[in-house]
Amino acid sequence: MSAETVSVTGWGRTAPTAARLIRPRTYEEAAAAVRGCGARGGIARGLGRAYGDAAQNAGGAVLDMTGLDRVHVIDAANGIVLCDAGVSLHRLTRVLLPLGWFVPVTPGTRQVTVGGAIGADIHGKNHHVSGSFSRHVLSFELLTADGEIRTVSRGTPLFDATTGGMGLTGVILTATVQLQPVETSLMSVDTERARDLDDLMARLSATDHDYRYSVAWIDLLARGASMGRAVLTRGDHAPLDALGPRARREPLAFRTPRLPAAPAFLPEGLLTRTTVGLFNELWYRKAPRARTGQLQSISAFFHPLDGVPHWNRVYGRGGFVQYQFVVAYGQEDTLRRIVRRVSERRCPSFLAVLKRFGDADPGWLSFPLPGWTLALDLPAGLPGLGALLDELDEEVAAAGGRVYLAKDSRLRPELLAAMYPRLDDFRALRAESDPRGVFVSDLSRRLSL
């Protein structure tokens, strides 16, 4: 087990803090690291794709769990896998896809560990059908503050506190996950343009039930009659009979194109209203008005940015803020007001996506609830950004919505209880199971979790 003091940030590259990074290679080493993490406590970390400070711990310990990455058992008949928490969704896809199985929920990157997927209770383009990742987790092994390893099953308080609990109930060591059957490694994709936000929401509401996966890219710089114009992309796993003769020879082949990495140093101010506006215009215009049945690879459909290593560097040294919120169905006016405010402020966001969520998941701090979720990236140095997002937080909370803790880096703690009604239950369980505060992060200190 190695350890060194390093500067740690989230994927947004904001607010770095120094911590002792520990790399356990066995369960016993992980337990020893938890016992010896010191007065400032410790937090587990996977591949570092939480955008904010959820996997940082200033002055304390951070446990890099990627060394625990074994796939233990695959039940190919029933589609169940038992693996270490440090296994990435990328590796699971490589191992499982040739057997005709796919991860049940994937976010916009494969570079997420199974432990991180549970801790953040990640969602994807299929939440309206499949829910969050935890809905497909049968059980997991959790290293708790007392040094014990507990098998945690669905339907228990510890399960519901851990799924979405941002690593604050313990260190996940292994997980047993139910998988999604597929016939091919290709997606059948329908693409269409929406002329404005109301047109987009009407299209999503009318036909989302016909698709397993659905997402819309929104041009947040468009104003006036075009406000919220979008490119809507929906699809499902392609059946074998949709493939041509050549593709049928290897119907489950998994290919991942890779482009050059973004340079380590990019000039500040690269993403301006002008440059992002030009990108958005080109992206919208190049999209087909309506196209059905296009075959795309899993990588192209789910994870296009994974093809550009270190794409987060494009925002420069100052990094960026990823802001994601959800408001319930019936609160469409709140969504409209927020889109209008961002549009009128001319905020340069080229990664802005809208999705529909289905039924809420049982995790006490799980993010999704039935409604509309909008995620957008913004340069951290944008003038007035903090004040704007504070105002949006208040509007979201007043509408009964919430922000996503796995992406948050600046939410004010007084709004948290309004957003997460089970917060007191979560705090009570932590106080009982971890009275010494062994598990702690910059996020938990900032929000008094």
- Summarize pLDDT for 237-263 with one digit per residue, the tens: 999 999 999 889 999 999 887 656 666
Q: Are the C-beta atoms of 371 and 360 separated by less than 8 Å?
A: no
Average the pLDDT over 175-196 and give the result: 98
**Rounded distance between C-alpha atoms, residue 215 and residue 126, angstroms:** 9
- pLDDT of 281 > 80? The answer is yes
Give residue-wise pLDDT tens across range 390-442: 999 999 999 999 999 999 999 999 999 999 999 999 999 999 999 999 999 99
pLDDT, residue 316, reads 85
pLDDT band at 307 (very low <50, low <70, confident <90, very high): confident
Average the pLDDT over 316-337 and give the result: 96
Token reading at 135:
């809905």
**Rounded distance between C-alpha atoms, residue 67 and residue 29, angstroms:** 11
Average the pLDDT over 172-200 and give the result: 98
Average the pLDDT over 75-89 and give the result: 98
Token reading at 157:
């308080």
pLDDT, residue 268, reads 59
Percent of the chain surpassing pLDDT 70: 97
β-bridge partners, 21: 4, 62
H or E element: which one contains 8?
strand 2-8
Average the pLDDT over 350-363 and give the result: 95
Strands (E), 158-212: 171-178, 180-181, 186-194
**Rounded distance between C-alpha atoms, residue 3 and residue 355, angstroms:** 41
pLDDT band at 276 (very low <50, low <70, confident <90, very high): confident
pLDDT, residue 269, reads 61
pLDDT, residue 443, reads 98
Token reading at 363:
């995790």
pLDDT band at 277 (very low <50, low <70, confident <90, very high): confident
- pLDDT of 1 > 80? The answer is no
**Rounded distance between C-alpha atoms, residue 235 and residue 215, angstroms:** 9
Give residue-wise pLDDT tens across range 22-56: 999 999 999 999 999 999 999 999 999 999 999 99
- pLDDT of 265 > 60? The answer is no
- Residue keyed to tokens 């948050």: 408
pLDDT, residue 267, reads 61
Q: Residue 30: phi, psi to the nearest 5?
A: -65, -45
Token reading at 32:
């020893």
Which among 237, 266, 263 has a CA at the least distance from the CA of 252? Answer: 237
| Of the candidate ranges 113-127, 188-202, 239-253, 273-287, the one whose mean pLDDT is the lowest | 273-287
pLDDT, residue 317, reads 86
Length reported for the chain: 449
Query: DSSP string covering 233-272, please?
Result: EEEEEPPGGGS-HHHHHSTT------PPPPPS---TT-S-
Q: Are the C-beta atoms of 369 and 402 separated by less than 8 Å?
A: yes
β-bridge partners, 373: 326, 355
- pLDDT of 274 > 90? The answer is no
The residue type found at 155 is G
**Rounded distance between C-alpha atoms, residue 145 and residue 107, angstroms:** 29
Q: Are the C-beta atoms of 93 and 199 separated by less than 8 Å?
A: no
DSSP state of 84: E
CA 394 to chain centre: 22
DSSP state of 367: -
Q: Residue 441: phi, psi to the nearest 5?
A: -145, 170
pLDDT, residue 275, reads 85
**Rounded distance between C-alpha atoms, residue 377 and residue 210, angstroms:** 29
Give residue-wise pLDDT tens across range 357-384: 999 999 999 999 999 999 999 999 999 9
H or E element: which one contains 337?
helix 332-344
**Rounded distance between C-alpha atoms, residue 114 and residue 81, angstroms:** 11
| Of the candidate ranges 309-323, 330-344, 400-414, the one whose mean pLDDT is the lowest | 309-323
**Rounded distance between C-alpha atoms, residue 254 and residue 92, angstroms:** 11
Helix, coil or strand: residue 449: coil
**Rounded distance between C-alpha atoms, residue 301 and residue 234, angstroms:** 9
Q: Residue 131: phi, psi to the nearest 5?
A: 70, -165
pLDDT, residue 272, reads 79
Q: Are the C-beta atoms of 428 and 361 separated by less than 8 Å?
A: no
CA 141 to chain centre: 22
Helix axis angle, 197-207 relative to 332-344, nearest 10°? 140
pTM to 2 decimal places: 0.96
Q: How far apart are the first and last CA of the chain?
A: 29
Arithmetic mean of pLDDT over the chain = 95
pLDDT, residue 279, reads 84
